[in-house]
Amino acid sequence: MDFKNLIGLEAWQEIQNNFSAVTQIPMRTVDLKGKPLTKPSGVPHLCSDYIAGFPHLLKACSSCMPTFLGGNEQVDSHLSYSCFLGLRNFIAALRIDQYTPLAYVIIGPVVLINYKPKSYYEKIAADLNLNINDLYSAVTDVKLSSFNSMLSVVELIQDVGNYLIKAAYKTFETQIGTGNLQLDKLNRLLQVFLDVAFQVSGADSGSIMLLDKTSKELSILTSKGIEKEIIKNSRIKFGEGISGTVAKENTPILINDRISHNRIKSYLTRPGLKTSMVLPIRVKEDVLGVINLNTSQGSQIAFSPNDLKIMDRLVDLVSVALH
């Protein structure tokens, strides 16, 4: 049983494309020997155009893979490695269990923290017989990211991929307690999803609330930047409050100083918030819960309609896994 048969490459290609579009980070999926399973997503100008014009660079790039996948690069404890230009790649292992990988997602290249000065590339350009200005322009077009952001992206991709793999494989499982195991995977997936949502949006507080179909109430599963007392006492009726309204109407809401919704004005009771996004988490048309993301009055970030679209696309990715 392999990744292709369990997930389907066409479906995974779509998920990979969406992940790359939301995070703006290049991605590709390979098998256990490093052979491509998908087409690369979000390829930067450096790789798609610049390097493609130099055969000797293409040759160097072809071996830019970890040794365990047939390349020449050594990975560190975080399963990341650098290419010959000093750009970083991360590896997400997609597994059916702790010991059985089925595929790997190569995430990158990215530039970590800051771009290196132009002088750093002068020797590289000279050794490779390249124009330093053209090389530096191509390198600085590569996505800039923090180390923690990359680890969050890797974690979410692994959780989504592993969730899909195990959900497909459960057809063949006969063990008692599988239902509890699936619930644990669901909770883990949503917790990592909130971490990535924070990294992508720049939110400073937020939560994921799940809907109890019996009591018709939303309660907080996981949160960041919210007081424990609020978490403990937070119970919102389906159709009431902002979260309850979003869950009932199955429609995301953006709240800022330029956009207001008459149907929720009476629920705006937290003056310390600057902007908020509230989005339904669905499996097809069945609402599982909502995600709330906020920025405070002191934040430099204010959510826009474009931020809402990006976050809705990220929610759709997790919805695919849940389905």
CA-to-CA separations, 144 to 21, 25, 77, 85, 112, in angstroms, rounded: 15, 9, 21, 14, 6
DSSP 3-state assignment of 323? Answer: coil
Give the pLDDT of residue 26: 93
The strand pairing partners of 101, in sequence order, are 95
Nearest to residue 145, comparing CAs of 278, 42, 273, 294?
42
Phi, psi of 36 (to 5 degrees): -65, 135
Angle at 85 between CA 81 and CA 86, to 5 degrees: 45
Position 176 scores a pLDDT of: 31
Q: What pLDDT sits at residue 322?
A: 65
The structure's pTM equals 0.68
The DSSP result for 187-208, as a single string, is HHHHHHHHHHHHHHH--SEEEE
Mean pLDDT of all residues in 75-79: 88
SS3 content of the chain, % helix, strand, coil (to 5): 45, 25, 30
Q: Which residues pair with 220 in a beta bridge?
A: 209
Residue 115 has pLDDT above 80, yes or no: yes
Cα separations in angstroms, 27 against 42, 96, 150:
7, 21, 12
Task: State pLDDT tens for residues 25-51.
Answer: 999 999 999 999 999 999 888 888 888
> Which pair of tokens denotes residue 50?
């610049």
- Cβ–Cβ < 8 Å for 206, 223: yes
Beta bridge partners of 253: 278
Tell me the mean pLDDT in the region 63-74.
85
What number is the average pLDDT over the span 211-223?
86
DSSP 75: P
- Lowest mean per-residue pLDDT among 61-75, 102-116, 199-213, 256-270: 256-270
Phi-psi label, residue 215: left if phi above 0, alpha if psi -120 to 50, beta otherwise: alpha
In the predicted model, is pLDDT for residue 93 greater than 70? yes
Q: Please state the rounded mean pLDDT for residues 137-154.
A: 89
Give the closest residue to 296 by CA, choosing from 266, 256, 267. Answer: 256
Answer yes or no: is pLDDT of 73 > 70.
yes
Output the pLDDT for position 170: 65
Share the mean pLDDT of the chain: 82
Do residues 277 and 243 touch, judged by C-beta distance below 8 A? no
> What is the percent of the chain where pLDDT is above 90?
14
Decide if 166 contacts 185 (C-beta within 8 A): yes
* pLDDT exceeds cutoff 60 at 133: yes
User: Do 145 and 152 contact (CB within 8 A), yes or no?
Assistant: no
- Per residue in 168-194, pLDDT (tens digit) is 676 544 333 444 545 566 777 778 788
Residues 272 and 296: beta-carbon distance below 8 Å: yes
Backbone angles phi, psi at 208, to 5 degrees: -115, 125
Q: Which amino acid appears at position 154 of this protein? A: V
pLDDT bin (cut points 50, 70, 90) of residue 225 is confident
Tell me whether residue 167 is exposed, middle or buried, using C-beta atoms within 10 angstroms of its C-beta: 0 to 12, 13 to 18, 19 or more.
middle
CB-based burial, 28-40: b 16+ in 10 Å, e otherwise? bbbbeeeeebbeb
Q: Which of 104, 76, 90, 65 lies closest to 154, judged by CA?
A: 90
Q: Are 189 and 159 in contact (CB under 8 A)?
A: yes
